[in-house]
Amino acid sequence: MYKMGRFWWWRFTSFVVMNKKILNFTESNLSVVSEKSYDATDDNIISVGYGFKRIGDLVTNEKSLIFGVKQKKKLDELNEDEIIPAYVSVDGQVIQTDVVEMAEVTTMVNCGGDFYAWQSSPPPNQGLIRPIEGGSSAINYTEMAGYACTLGFLAKDNYDGAVVGISNVHCAATEPFAPVNPTLYNGVYVTNQIVQPSETAQPELDGVAFLKRISFLKPSSSNQADVAVYSLNKDFVQSTYKQVGLSSINNDLPFATCSELADLLKTDPYLYSSGRTTGPKGEGDIKLKINRINTTIQVGYYGDQNPKIIKFTDVIGFIAVPSSEVAKGRPYSIQCDWPIKGGDSGSCLIADINGEKKIIGLVFAGSIQNGICKEGFACNIQSVALAANIRSLASESGPVSPSPSTVFV
């Protein structure tokens, strides 16, 4: 999310020390292992995920359970219960660990070209786009005028079969937490107007949708999806598959299956995304690549009245890499800044899986170091679909559910 004239961004909070030992697990589900590893440590660990081990500035092809910290310390500076072991056991299978500083990635100079064109001129995503396309700048003008976000993609609502727009809850509501009495929210959002582009000063002319419902976040337990559903004006729903500036997207995109999401490190696909601030990415010389999956992270801050840091699980991390590095294969010696930027929240993350492009996630956060984004994060699409009760446009049919209230908890 981006506050025009002022920079707002979802980032990891900063901590410093390594933590308690984690040795044996009996769950084969790596997202559970990541969350339990995160929960077993104190607040000095800010992320745990399954990804590619880093040696110095190189991202290798070795898979490991990665613990993210702000500052690494020498062994002789740690107490015994602060040392993370070199390996963990998951159902008897040994997996190596890796401890990385979130600021470890060094800014590189070999990442120019079209990837940074947005720094000198606004991308097409910020223009008036009719009919609506995924990747276009959009915001809940009623509650959040002056902010900017992205409408990520179009989907089918399982409640009524309508084509709806999908974005983040933090792009749609200033207070994303359930009140003590949820019935107080009945009907409150139905008049909230979604405008495209976010930068509009004419909501009466540029309104394209109304906020249909949001998925409340839980401040004291795990969350899997930062998602909101928009009821689109049917006049603007035509070429529903399109993503602004991505010419290779030419059909309705299915959602990646659970098994395809679990295999992302193995298949290591090319990724694509189109966002309000940085525009279309992935088709040029700079490629988007998976960095880690099944990740548990803490993200702040949510809510205007009483801002909170929220825990998310089963998150996908991705980075930007020059095509010349990708051609060499991992380890990558060069990593590019700004895979996403504030305002790209709500973007769709797409992967080419065995020659077929599929939606794998909904972008919602970034890791910011010294004012620069190094890694983007997306809620995986199966978590998003479950929370929002939606299916892909490519789906022939889906479950029919009773009509909900204007929000769901």
Q: Please report the pLDDT score of residue 167 as a whole number.
A: 97
CA 231, chain centre distance (Å) = 22
Query: Between β-strands 279-281 and 270-275, what pairing exists: parallel, antiparallel or unpaired?
Result: antiparallel
Give the pair of three-digit tokens for residue 9.
């961004």
Distance between CA atoms of residues 147 and 4, nearest Å: 6
Dist CA 154 CA 133 (whole Å): 8
- Calculate the dihedral angle through the C-alpha atoms of 355, 361, 363, 369, rounding to the nearest 10 degrees: -80
pLDDT digits (tens, 9 = 90+) for 182-206: 555 555 566 789 999 999 878 888 9
Helix (H, G, I), strand (E, B) or coil at 155: strand
The helix/strand count (H/E) of the chain reads as: 7, 21
Q: How far apart are CA 315 and CA 66, in angstroms?
A: 13
- Which CA distances in Å does 359 have to 225, 350, 381? 15, 4, 7
The average confidence (pLDDT) of the chain is 81
Q: Name the residue among 86, 92, 73 with its Cα closest to residue 21.
A: 86
Residue 314 has pLDDT above 90, yes or no: yes
Q: Is the model's pLDDT at 12 over the cut of 60?
A: no
**pLDDT classification of 15: cutoffs 50, 70, 90:** very low
Phi, psi of 281, deg, nearest 5: -140, 145
pLDDT in tens, 28-67: 566 666 666 666 655 566 677 777 777 766 667 777 887 7
Ramachandran category for residue 282: left, alpha or beta (phi over 0 → left; psi -120 to 50 → alpha): left
Decide: helix, strand or coil at residue 297.
strand
329: alpha, beta or left? (left if phi > 0; alpha if psi -120 to 50): left
> What per-residue confidence (pLDDT) applies to 103?
38
d(CA 151, CA 197): 10
Retrieve residue 323's tokens. 């095509």
What is the sign of the dihedral through the CA atoms of 56, 62, 67 and 73?
negative
Range 299-322 average pLDDT: 90
Residue pair 184/15 in contact by the 8 Å Cβ criterion: no
Say whether pLDDT at 27 is over 60.
no
For residue 128, give the nearest of 197, 195, 193, 194 by alpha carbon. Answer: 197
Please state the pTM of the whole predicted model.
Answer: 0.77
What is the rounded CA–CA span in Å between residue 348 and residue 64?
26
Residue 341 CA from chain centroid, whole number: 12
Give the best-scoring range by mean pLDDT among 3-7, 104-108, 187-191: 187-191
pLDDT in tens, 142-170: 989 899 999 999 999 999 999 999 999 99
At 217 the pLDDT is 93
As a whole number of angstroms, the distance between CA 102 and CA 55 comes to 14
Q: What's the residue count for the chain?
A: 409
Please name the amino acid found at residue 315.
V
- Please state, in angstroms and rounded to a whole number, the distance separating the CA atoms of residues 76 and 90: 28
Domain borders along the chain are 24-101, 104-409
Percent of the chain scoring above 90 in pLDDT: 51
